[in-house]
Amino acid sequence: MNAFLFQADPVTLIEKRTIRHASMLASKGSIEITSVTLDGIDDAPANRYAVPVGTVEFCRAWMERCGIQEPGPLDFPVSLRRFLGRNLERLENYAAAPLGAWVKPVRTKAWDAHVKAAGTPPEGEVWASGPLRLIAEWRVYVLNGCALGLGRYDDGEEDDLEFSQQTLMDMLSAFSGSGEAPRAYALDIALTHDLKTVLIEATDAWAIGFYKGSCSPAHYAELLASRWREIAGNTK
């Protein structure tokens, strides 16, 4: 049985709806769902194998409650950097990145990646690269090295554009063969203005959202559960 712990606050509604859908379609008793608010998580029974579904803050709080070590950042695996199509630097702080650079926190989901402009800098180490000219973007959900499905998430869904299937297969093969890959993750890939297929980033399945139409509810539920079972073995 896969047990899921929903964040009872009004957040991640699509993700929770998708798991409920999977539960309705699953055999009786194969998926169990309970709910707790972020503020009430310290009072919840510490079932380390209950898969949290909520904000990254909620998932982190559940790891803390269950004594689970948070996985290291995934983002730009060494084995996949040749697919980035851009130079990438790891910098000590936000101030070290030039204006106009694309910046992302090293810590998983500490804040949203963006193009640097003037303003109050966030804290912590950052990844920085030059901006890419992209014309289409997709998220590919992966379990045990196999793509479960994908969804386009940029604003040009009506465009008849396709990425290189071979390049995606090369990414999956390189990551699986490296020993770096977790059981479940997503690859965000894109098509550049000169029609090259590049990797934007990899996302660990414990901190992943769901794009409608990308994969089935059952596959999404198994993606989350499989990765969480792996994470749950990492005690502090």
Tell the residue number behind the tokens 């380390």, with chain if given: 48
Residue 139 has pLDDT above 60, yes or no: yes
Q: What is the distance between the alpha carbons of residues 46 and 88, in angstroms, rounded to a whole number? A: 39
Q: What is the distance between the alpha carbons of residues 174 and 111, in angstroms, rounded to a whole number? A: 28
Q: What is the distance between the alpha carbons of residues 145 and 147, in angstroms, rounded to a whole number? A: 7
Residue 236 has pLDDT above 80, yes or no: no
Neighbours of 24 (CB within 10 A): 9
What pLDDT sits at residue 158? 62
**pLDDT tens string 39-71:** 999 999 999 999 999 999 999 999 999 999 999
Least confident of 3-7, 10-14, 155-159: 155-159
**How are beta strands 2-7 and 51-53 bridged, if at all?**
parallel
Q: What is the distance between the alpha carbons of residues 186 and 138, in angstroms, rounded to a whole number? A: 10
pTM exceeds 0.85, yes or no? yes
Residue 4 has pLDDT above 70, yes or no: yes
**pLDDT tens string 182-224:** 999 999 999 999 999 999 999 999 989 999 889 999 999 999 9
Least confident of 45-54, 133-142, 154-163: 154-163
